[in-house]
Amino acid sequence: MFDDVNDLYQQVILDHCKKPRNFHEMPTATCSAQGHNPLCGDNLKLFLTLEGDVIKDASFVGSGCCISKASASLLTDNIKGKTKAEAEKTFEQVREMITTGQVNGDVGKLAVFAGVHKYPARVKCAILSWHALIGALKGENQPVSTESEQN
């Protein structure tokens, strides 16, 4: 899959792909959004529990390739405890990193996706769960598709 990317990064992605974190439905979620990437066939649903402005809990279900699952898994770990504004800022950092390879600020473990920009077909797999996050935060009930985005 990634021949020349850092081995450690590849291991983290494979680990989260095989054993996704927060991989379950959330009946108590306050908002959710469906994400679909028709180019690859990735389908996932993201659940959030908001308390005021803070994301108390996050989970996801669905099926897709290794990159999309690992991305959603790391996303749900990353955004727990963040405010909406902080999560939106992280989305911007991740989008820039995934599309250009440039890491701005501290993105923690999400840095494992910096190598994805070298594989244009995989960019949408990696960004899918982040579009679902923004859709859920906005309270949009429309499914999010990577094909409606200009990126």
Q: Are strands 42-51 and 54-63 parallel, antiparallel or unpaired?
A: antiparallel
Q: Going edge to edge, which strands form the sheet with 31-37?
A: 54-63, 42-51, 31-37, 144-145
How far is C-alpha 15 from the geometric centre of its chain's CA atoms? 15
Q: Could you tell me which stretch among 8-16, 44-52, 105-113, 125-133 binds Zn ion (CB under 5 A)?
A: 125-133
End-to-end Cα, the chain, rounded Å: 22
Which listed residue (125, 132, 134, 137) binds Zn ion by CB under 5 A? 125
Residue 57 binds Zn ion (CB under 5 A): no
Q: Could you tell me which stretch among 60-68, 75-83, 101-109, 134-142 binds Zn ion (CB under 5 A)?
A: 60-68
Select from 12, 19, 33 the least CA-distant residue to 146: 33
Residue 146 binds Zn ion (CB under 5 A): no
DSSP lists the bridge partners of residue 60 as 23, 46
- Closest distance between Zn ion and the C-beta of residue 135, in Å? 18
Q: Could you tell me which stretch among 22-30, 44-52, 74-82, 122-130 binds Zn ion (CB under 5 A)?
A: 122-130
User: In this structure, what token pair is assigned to residue 39?
Assistant: 């180019």
DSSP lists the bridge partners of residue 51 as 54
Range 61-80, binding Zn ion (CB under 5 A): 65, 68
Which listed residue (5, 31, 40, 61) binds Zn ion by CB under 5 A? 40
Residue 48 binds Zn ion (CB under 5 A): no
Which residues in this chain contact Zn ion in the complex, by CB under 5 A? 40, 42, 65, 68, 125
